[in-house]
A and B are shown apart, each in its own frame.
Chain A
Amino acid sequence: MRSVAIVGAGQTRHARRRKDVTQVALAREAVTSALQDAGLTMDDIDSVVVCSGPVLFAAVNQPEKWLVDAIGARLKPVVRVTSGGGTGLAGALAAVNQIRGGFAERVLVVAYDKLSEGALQYSISTLYDPFWGREFAVGIMGFAAAYWRARMDSLGHTEEAAAMVSVKNHRNALLNPYAHVKKEVSVEDVMNSRPLCWPIKLLDVPPISDGACAVVLSSEDAAKASADPAWIRGIAYYSEAENAANRSMIQSEPLTIAAQRVYKQAGITNPRRQCDVVEVQEPYTCFELSYYEGLGLCPPGGAADLISSGATLIDGDIPVNPSGGCMGANPIGATALIRLAEVAQQVRGRAGNHQIPDARVGLMQAGGGWANLRGVAVVASTKG
């Protein structure tokens, strides 16, 4: 299989509301930054993958059409990929496959959402079957809170453990120039914050953001021009049946399958020891706890101990979300690609103030829904 590398990445200034830019101008800002980071121009790009969330978020259907002008992609292949919170990773996988298949040498992936334009929870509630369940839907928050509560019983994912995730990620976001939520919080602050969908409380929840991210992926030949490519050592994205019988809502089977496949591709047998840095997409704090187990950083039921031990702090032995994760900024359609861009910049030594020293292997995870759609990727400073 042809090797593929990330040779450039860029993000916008994220904000609760970017009044100064349209949706497409937001996307362009990230593209400009990624091309600059890669030392390339649009002339070097063979193909473009556009990623954004459900169109009801911002009332523009088929936005990739509008993006063509804004990023100078006229007469190039342009497709849009969307998959909930995992959108950006699903788009990156499409780009990787375009390169592996020989269709393109360099692919630009641009992912964005301008969530300030519309009614977020209402839009997300339309993901549910109109006959069966939509009338009770509370975005995915009601649902996520319900199964977090169930995990408390079976896996010990306590409110305090989740609060520690919030404390850690908020603190890390202080180091990230792209994060727009910059405040230190304590476990007590989180525990005492207003319940939204109990047990999920205000400080368990990331902000709603306008923002974009772009990444340039390159074939092995084309990556020779790059001084510091981040090699994709494994990437996968899996799903499960939404309403099948006896569905396990306690562990995400798609996450386990994706992780096993990616570890096999990347030659990883002990992720906690072999990975230097991890970025996960945590729509709420409780998700990060579950990912520790799904990614094999600890055994099932071990997440609360792992966060309490300090191992996932920025100076711990397995730092998770040194960027602050979604707590710093959460433009949903871009969030997964931001996680990929962050680990790529880490292994390229370009992560700035939240750089993990000598990071060589980065692990990232993203997905849509509670457990339905899950993807994993490993990037490294060497081709392997």
Chain B
Amino acid sequence: MTDGLLTGIDQPQVLETTLSLPYTLTTGRAAGTFLAELGNKRILGSRCDKCARVMTPPQDYCSRCGSASETFVHMPERGTVTAVTRTDRAILALVQLDGSDSGFLHRLAPDSHHAAVGARVRAVWADTPSQSMLDLDCFALDDTGGHAGSAIEVGEVAVVAELAYSLTLHYKHAYGPHYGRLFDELATHRRILGSLCPSCRNVLVPPREFCDACFVRTAQYVDVADTGILQAFSVIHMEFVGQTRKPPYVYAEIVLDGSATRLIHTIAGFDVTTAAERLQIGMPVRAVWKDRADCHGTLDDIDYFEIVTGSERGD
């Protein structure tokens, strides 16, 4: 159980969830070559063969004419600040390298407090390459004057073809009045609530503001039994990233007695390897609750649903 009721109005109660997703990104020719060349302390740009636009970092396709015909060029390490801003972590700037037609978003050296639009800067390289944009550590103010010449064509060079990446996303989902009440009742009274539609007289679980079919406001909360009918099931053997339990287990859709909607849960308490033969659609099932100490106001407070004995075919 969380601190206080989930329906408390003083402070909105939230369900905190985290998604941690792994990725393997394909860099493509331009970004892959750019990253490889940063490791060699060279800044790569691309020049459109059709309209001569020069872009840094290099692009696979020209942003002006859409041509895929791009020649890679080594860019001078000096340029001019065209925009600047400060965050709590860094001074960020758009740097237009000499000979480039596009701005390059990067950070300025930490001591560049007086950097302004028009300031001249030069590249500062990281001591140890990490195969990322930060191989170019930052741009530092540079008042040595003069332009550093133009882009030089390069032939084919090594490519960083793939990059490991991850997204870790934290969410705070507000319970709202209906989910709050539902999970409060679940955690404190082991009671499952639905809401009654005054029009079609169906009881909807989880409880909600409106009936999805009639689109009228629901009238009242109704207690629903913790027993029901197995409407559909499958047996999960597959393992996948983000899975919350270990296969094999049963994926079950249950219609609780007194309700007209689907509840997704699992059937256990028997030898799961016999599930395909033993489970029958339409068989009665009953919730097996966790110990009160382990109940936190989630669907997981129900450990699993069990087959109601005496209900099996042939019994």
Q: Is the CB of A136 within 8 A of B238?
A: no
Taken together as a complex, chains A and B put the C-alpha atoms of A117 and B171 apart, in Å, by: 23
Chain B window 212-255, contacts with chain A (Cβ cutoff 8 Å), 1 for yes, 0 for no: 11000000000000000001111111101111100000011100
Segment among A127-135, A163-171, A298-306, A322-330 that sits at the interface with chain B: A127-135
Q: Is the CB of B235 within 8 A of A119?
A: no
User: Among the listed A74, A116, A122, A145, which residue makes an inter-chain contact with B64, where contact means beta carbons less than 8 Å apart?
Assistant: A74
Q: Is the CB of A130 within 8 A of B171?
A: yes
Q: Is the CB of B234 within 8 A of A243?
A: no
Closest residue of chain B to A196 (Cβ to Cβ) is B238
User: Among the listed A73, A126, A149, A245, which residue makes an inter-chain contact with B261, where contact means beta carbons less than 8 Å apart?
Assistant: A245
A22 in the interface (beta carbon within 8 A): yes
Taken together as a complex, chains A and B put the C-alpha atoms of A318 and B243 apart, in Å, by: 41
A58 in the interface (beta carbon within 8 A): yes
Nearest CB of B to A162, in Å: 13
A150-186 residues at the B interface, CB under 8 angstroms: 150, 153
Q: Is the CB of B66 within 8 A of A69?
A: yes
Q: Is the CB of B260 within 8 A of A246?
A: yes
> What residues of B have a CB within 8 angstroms of the CB of A116 in the complex?
24, 26
Closest residue of chain B to A121 (Cβ to Cβ) is B240
Q: Is the CB of A249 within 8 A of B197?
A: no
Taken together as a complex, chains A and B put the C-alpha atoms of A205 and B202 apart, in Å, by: 36
B9 in the interface (beta carbon within 8 A): no
B266 in the interface (beta carbon within 8 A): yes
> What residues of B have a CB within 8 angstroms of the CB of A242 in the complex?
212
B60 in the interface (beta carbon within 8 A): yes
Nearest CB of A to B261, in Å: 6
User: Among the listed B62, B165, B253, which residue makes an inter-chain contact with A146, where contact means beta carbons less than 8 Å apart?
Assistant: B253
User: Among the listed B25, B212, B231, B236, which residue makes an inter-chain contact with A150, where contact means beta carbons less than 8 Å apart?
Assistant: B231
> What residues of A have a CB within 8 angstroms of the CB of B23 in the complex?
58-59, 117-119
| Contact status of A70 and B61, CB under 8 A, knowing A42-B66, A197-B238, A198-B237 | yes
> What residues of A have a CB within 8 angstroms of the CB of B211 in the complex?
244-245
Nearest CB of A to B313, in Å: 12
| Contact status of A72 and B251, CB under 8 A, knowing A122-B242, A130-B171, A142-B234 | no
User: Among the listed A21, A69, A194, A200, which residue makes an inter-chain contact with B26, where contact means beta carbons less than 8 Å apart?
Assistant: A21
> What residues of A have a CB within 8 angstroms of the CB of B28 in the complex?
21-22, 24-25
Nearest CB of B to A33, in Å: 13
List 12 contacting pairs A-B, 8 Å CB cutoff, sorted by A. Answer: A21-B26, A73-B66, A121-B242, A122-B240, A125-B242, A136-B251, A138-B236, A138-B243, A143-B253, A146-B233, A149-B232, A150-B281
Which A residues fall within an 8 A CB radius of B? 18-25, 28, 42, 56, 58-59, 69-74, 114, 116-123, 125-126, 128, 130-133, 135-139, 141-143, 145-150, 153, 194-200, 241-247, 249
